[in-house]
Amino acid sequence: MKLVAGVDIGNSTTEVAIADFDNNLEFLTSSMVKTTGLKGTVDNVMGVLLALKEACQNINIPIVKLDAICINEATPVIGDVAMETITETIITESTMIGHNPDTPGGIGVGTGKTVFLDELEYIHGNEEVICVIPKSIDFESAAKRLNEAFKKGIEITGAVIQGDDGVIISNRLGRKIPIVDEVAYIDKVPMGMLAAVEVAAPGKTIKVLSNPYGLATVFKLSPEETKHVIPISRALIGNRSAVVIRTPEGDVKERVIPAGKLILMGTKENKIGIEEGSSAIMNSLSKVWPLKDVTGEAGTNVGGMIERVRQIMGELTEQEIEEIKIQDILAVDTFIPQKVQGGLAEEFALENAVALAAMVKTSKLPMETIAKKLQMETNVKVLIGGVEANMAVLGALTTPGTDKPLVILDIGGGSTDSAYIDKRGAVKSIHHAGAGEMVTMLIKSELGLEDYNLAEDIKKHPLAKVESLFNIRYEDGSVCFFQKPLDSSLFARNVIVKKDEMIPIPTKHTLEKIKIIRREAKSKVFVTNTIRALRDIAPNHDLRTIDFVVLVGGSALDFEIPEMISDELSHYGVVCGSGNIRGAEGPRNAVATGLVISYYKSLRGN
């Protein structure tokens, strides 16, 4: 037996295909493991060894019995986010609390100066006040003292409470006032300052404090000052309760870092401001294509981001930073929750941002280093194969029912590769930044999640609402019933439905909102990159000249991506579907299979 292994090192997974070259080409087995380290770096070797070991065990041979190992040319891709306008929300002369506690009391809007509960006896009867109550005072004492103050004619228009007693205190008051509780940093609330408290009815959201003109009315702001409170009002949109307090001038400083400009270098040089948005950036990119390199304006957000990409790649590939060239970018409009400067309960505001995926071109040196180390570890000859997209075409052609001419879309974790093979077998390919990992990043940032794996699960699996302990309603409206009761901790929660478990989503976003964010993220990355890639490789750059598109790679297994891409391509009369490599692997293993086929053909002079 003459056994050859093809190894595809991807951003997310490493795949292996092993074939016997003795008589004809016969594929024997395959395997897949999680990629170790960043794609295209020496850390990949550990994952390759695991994948080879698993595949070899399937056919009961040691790795050393392989005649050759063919690895792909792995190009690293890094995704990062550049803020459009600011890194810290601008708030001048104001502090806010808008953390949406579960148990606010009362209803309505109240304004007045902030005073501690102990100071109520010193207040003049005609002065409107917002009472601040620390956790050290129990709810019964607080309610009793507030009622006594009401009888004395003191105008208490609202309350801010450190504990979670908002409803209990409200139920004991002779006069209903809006009460916001669970304010952890109550000691930071400035005293004697004008404040406004708003609590909406159950099921509704606040209207006054989430409106910049409402804030202007309450605090008698000038037009210039109103501009500065926009971040506050935006941060409070959708909350049931909120507090805004005006602080002494200079108490909260503003710091602005400009978004900066991208400098795109290709057939000519173009400068484009990040604040102009993703469409303008991508239009500017098309005017200079093919891209040779990208830099960012010094001292700006985007300048820092681009240099960070270079620095990381320089360290990982052991190359000088000036040798690292960015050969493609994908810009996508998004929102980023930014911590509000001046907040007292870790408030966040959604800021416009531009997410950038940058594809870095390195020399062949890193792949040669990987090949050398792998050869040393296995004592097997290691060869660096061709361009990923070209190898994927050869693998895709093993899908039953396919023939030349054909286009493949290899949608991986970090990049979208596309290749066109004509009737004569000539292949034209293109490699674009941005794929599955960028979608995960967008979901994570827009939902304000801390857990990357949770965002990955939201991307990959359908959502549901647990309506009772015996049934859930899926995002498409269908209902599923259970014989045994679900875990009580899942009751009334939004969950991700995986094969063997349900994972609760720890956000207050509605099921529909999470679904919209997920689908928009996929559309912004996958559909945009699909159209971009096909235009680049189609004859005469006309999508209508393409008849068949085969989707390969991990993202082709997604429960909605193939349908989204197919719907978009149907406008151009293109037939699109997921591949089935060798009639057995589904859309997986295309590149690994292609590497083996390519080596087989080279040995026979094809």
pLDDT exceeds 90 at position 382: yes
Rounded Cα distance, 148 and 122, in Å: 13
DSSP summary character for residue 343: B
pLDDT exceeds 90 at position 360: no
pLDDT exceeds 90 at position 593: yes
- Supply the pLDDT for residue 262: 87
- Supply the pLDDT for residue 84: 40
- Supply the pLDDT for residue 14: 94
564: number of Cβ within 10 Å: 16
Rounded Cα distance, 431 and 416, in Å: 6
Per the model's pLDDT, the better-predicted residue between 416 and 517 turns out to be 517
- Supply the pLDDT for residue 461: 93
Rounded Cα distance, 303 and 58, in Å: 49
Strands 179-180 and 155-161: parallel
- Supply the pLDDT for residue 523: 93
Interval 257-277: pLDDT, tens: 567 788 999 999 999 887 788
- Supply the pLDDT for residue 89: 35
Mean pLDDT of the 220-240 span: 77
Identical fold, 95-245 and 403-461+507-578: no
Closest CA to 382 of 52, 24, 31, 151: 52
Closest CA to 462 of 477, 452, 451: 477
- Specify the CATH number for 95-245; select among 3.40.50.1450, 3.50.30.70, 3.30.470.160, 1.10.10.60: 3.50.30.70
Rounded Cα distance, 589 and 577, in Å: 16
Rounded Cα distance, 312 and 584, in Å: 38
Mean residue pLDDT of the chain comes to 84
Strands 293-296 and 269-273: unpaired
In the chain, where are the structural domains located?
Answer: 1-76+362-398+581-606, 79-87+256-361, 95-245, 403-461+507-578
> Which of 79-93, 109-123, 440-454, 513-527 has the least mean pLDDT?
79-93
Question: What fold, for 1-76+362-398+581-606?
Answer: Nucleotidyltransferase; domain 5 (3.30.420)
Q: Which CATH architecture has domain 79-87+256-361?
A: Alpha-Beta Complex (3.90)
Per-residue pLDDT band at 237 (split at 50, 70, 90) = confident
pLDDT exceeds 80 at position 317: no
Q: Could you tell me how far CA 134 lies from the centroid of its own chain? A: 39
- Supply the pLDDT for residue 164: 83
Mean pLDDT of the 105-119 span: 90
Token look-up 């790679």 returns 553
CA-based diameter of the chain, in Å?
A: 102
DSSP summary character for residue 523: I
Mean pLDDT of the 175-181 span: 90
Mean pLDDT of the 547-570 span: 88
DSSP summary character for residue 487: P
pLDDT exceeds 50 at position 93: no
Q: Which CATH superfamily is domain 403-461+507-578 in?
A: ATPase, nucleotide binding domain (3.30.420.40)
Interval 51-65: pLDDT, tens: 999 999 999 999 999
